[in-house]
Amino acid sequence: MAVSPSAARVAVLSFAFLLLNLHPISPATVGSDPDASPVKRLPARPGSPFKIALFADLHFGEDAWTDWGPRQDVNSVCVMSTVLDDEVPDFVVYLGDVITANNIMIANASLYWDQALSPTRSRGIPFASVFGNHDDAAFEWPLEWFSAPGIPPVHCAVANSSFSGDCSFSGTHRLQLMTNEIEQYALSYSSKGPKDLWPSISNYVLQISPMDNPLSPIAYLYFLDSGGGSYSEVLSNAQSEWFKTRSLEINPDSRVPELIFWHIPSKAYKKVAPWSGVPKPCVGSINKETVASQQAETGIMEILEKRPSVKAVFVGHNHGLDWCCPSKNLWLCYARHTGYGGYGDWARGARIIEINQHPFSIKSWIRMENHDVHSEVNLSS
Ligand SMILES: [Zn+2]
């Protein structure tokens, strides 16, 4: 059974009315440099810890022409719903591979992107996203379709199209996916990033500030596009320089803690990866594969390591890893595979980050689909 675009569209539309009932939060902005893009401000409830849930590697839209694919997406919605109801986070980060675009044979993959956002949106929780290597990949025609059983009858599910034109399924560009998210949803805190960092798109910074004291930031969250899909898996020199300049500008004395989010681990993860199990000082529960790092590095880790305010980096990509390991003055952390799409059958869950102001601490743990909690770690020590 395949997901017809009309059925999927109905699912999206059914969420649209929920949106009408949500109070749109207009992100406040700060920043002194008139040429720089403003920093959106996330309000923290006075006296309460600020809690972030990371949804990594959801891989929506896989194999929609089978029974299996759509079932995985329903399962992924269940995982997210469970985590959101158990933890009630203040903010959600979609940490890349939101969709598996190389499996998506419709012209606009935003349809699946929207479905992945739906559990968070329907609860009125603000969110932001970064791109993974699968999000804007072009459709890969399965070789078995060209053997005896042939191509499934739903192969060209675009109205008034033929095998030429719309059925090339060339992927939905990063800019298109992000523009759709930002323009449709007031709860989205994502940005399209500075244009001079092209072709990477999800490069931006958010500031967490108490509602009653907006000029005293609690933390900065940096999001970087680690590439893959339509271009190389790399954090470019331009992105490294952007981070360096931007962080010096908005947090010159490194007084405010900084957390960093991207999808594909840097090579530094290979250096700290445990050989087997997750022995101390690392903290985690699965260590089932080798680190699949970026194709090239251009100095971002050296820049991060020189800033005492950078406390941790969070990545996805390796579905069989969920550890945090210390590396020099910061922590290198994996999220937890959240989606039923993508490879691997390890139990699904989500990494949670909790920032406390008084006394200051950054704690993290993993919340599982079966409600278990494990692998708590103090990232501010
Ligand atoms: Zn993935």
pLDDT (tens, 9 = 90+) of the chain, 381 residues, equals 333 333 343 343 333 333 333 333 444 444 444 445 678 999 999 889 999 999 999 999 999 888 899 999 999 999 999 999 999 999 999 999 999 999 888 878 899 999 999 999 999 999 999 999 999 998 888 888 888 777 776 445 455 544 444 566 778 899 999 999 999 999 999 999 899 998 999 999 999 999 998 889 999 999 999 999 999 999 999 999 999 999 999 999 999 999 999 999 999 999 999 999 999 999 999 999 999 999 988 899 999 999 999 999 999 999 999 999 999 999 999 999 999 999 999 999 999 999 998 889 999 999 999 999 999 999 997
Residue 70: helix, strand or coil by DSSP? helix
Q: How far is the CA of 308 from the centre of ligand 1 (A)?
A: 30
Q: How far is the CA of 127 from the centre of ligand 1 (A)?
A: 19
Q: How far is the CA of 321 from the centre of ligand 1 (A)?
A: 11
Q: What pLDDT is recorded for position 80?
A: 98
Helix axes 68-87, 110-122, angle to 10 degrees: 30
Q: How far is the CA of 209 from the centre of ligand 1 (A)?
A: 31
d(CA 335, CA 323): 8
**Residue 240 — left, alpha, or beta (φ > 0 → left; ψ -120 to 50 → alpha)?**
alpha
Q: What pLDDT is recorded for position 44?
A: 96
Q: What is the DSSP letter of 46?
A: T
Which spans in the chain are helix H?
5-20, 68-87, 110-122, 174-184, 237-250, 268-272, 300-305
Q: How far is the CA of 270 from the centre of ligand 1 (A)?
A: 18
Q: How far is the CA of 190 from the centre of ligand 1 (A)?
A: 20
Strand partners, 366: 351, 374
Q: What pLDDT is recorded for position 151?
A: 74
Q: How far is the CA of 156 from the centre of ligand 1 (A)?
A: 26
Q: How far is the CA of 353 from the centre of ligand 1 (A)?
A: 20
Q: What pLDDT is recorded for position 327?
A: 96
Q: How far is the CA of 337 from the centre of ligand 1 (A)?
A: 8
Residue 72: helix, strand or coil by DSSP? helix
Q: Give burial (CB, 10 Å; 0-12/13-18/19+) of 272.
A: middle
Q: How far is the CA of 376 from the centre of ligand 1 (A)?
A: 23
Number of residues written out for the chain: 381
Q: How far is the CA of 98 from the centre of ligand 1 (A)?
A: 8
**Residue 165 — left, alpha, or beta (φ > 0 → left; ψ -120 to 50 → alpha)?**
left
- Sheet order of strands, 91-94 included: 127-129, 91-94, 50-55, 349-356, 361-368, 373-378
Q: How many CB atoms lie within 10 A of CB 307?
A: 18
Q: How far is the CA of 294 from the centre of ligand 1 (A)?
A: 13
d(CA 361, CA 258): 12
Q: How far is the CA of 318 from the centre of ligand 1 (A)?
A: 7
For residue 27, give every residue at least 6 positions away whose Cβ sits within 8 Å of its Cβ, in sequence order, or none: 40, 41, 42, 189
Q: How far is the CA of 135 from the centre of ligand 1 (A)?
A: 9
Q: Can you read off the two tokens belonging to residue 194?
A: 């500075």
Q: How far is the CA of 349 from the centre of ligand 1 (A)?
A: 14
Q: What pLDDT is recorded for position 156?
A: 55
Q: What is the largest CA-CA distance in the chain?
A: 67
Q: How far is the CA of 101 from the centre of ligand 1 (A)?
A: 11
Residue ranges of domains in the chain, CATH in brackets: 5-378 (3.60.21.10)
Q: Can you read off the two tokens belonging to residue 132?
A: 């993974």
Residue 252: helix, strand or coil by DSSP? coil
Q: How far is the CA of 95 from the centre of ligand 1 (A)?
A: 10
Q: How far is the CA of 242 from the centre of ligand 1 (A)?
A: 26
Name the residue type at position 112.
Y
Q: How far is the CA of 57 from the centre of ligand 1 (A)?
A: 4
Q: How far is the CA of 342 from the centre of ligand 1 (A)?
A: 6
Q: What pLDDT is recorded for position 145?
A: 82
Indicate the pTM of the whole model: 0.88
Contact indicator for 209, 357 with CB cutoff of 8 Å:
no
Q: How far is the CA of 316 from the centre of ligand 1 (A)?
A: 7
Q: How far is the CA of 113 from the centre of ligand 1 (A)?
A: 14
In DSSP notation, 274-324 reads -SSS--TT-B-S-B-S-----SB--SHHHHHHT-TTEEEEEE-S-TTB--E
Q: What pLDDT is recorded for position 205?
A: 97
Q: Tokens 């954090």 — which residue? A: 235
Q: How far is the CA of 344 from the centre of ligand 1 (A)?
A: 10
Q: What is the DSSP letter of 347?
A: P
Q: How far is the CA of 97 from the centre of ligand 1 (A)?
A: 5
Q: How many CB atoms lie within 10 A of CB 313?
A: 25
Q: How far is the CA of 131 from the centre of ligand 1 (A)?
A: 11
- Helical (H) or strand (E) element with 238: helix 237-250
Q: Give burial (CB, 10 Å; 0-12/13-18/19+) of 107.
A: buried
Q: What pLDDT is recorded for position 13?
A: 36
Q: How far is the CA of 341 from the centre of ligand 1 (A)?
A: 8
Q: Can you read off the two tokens belonging to residue 364?
A: 């993290």
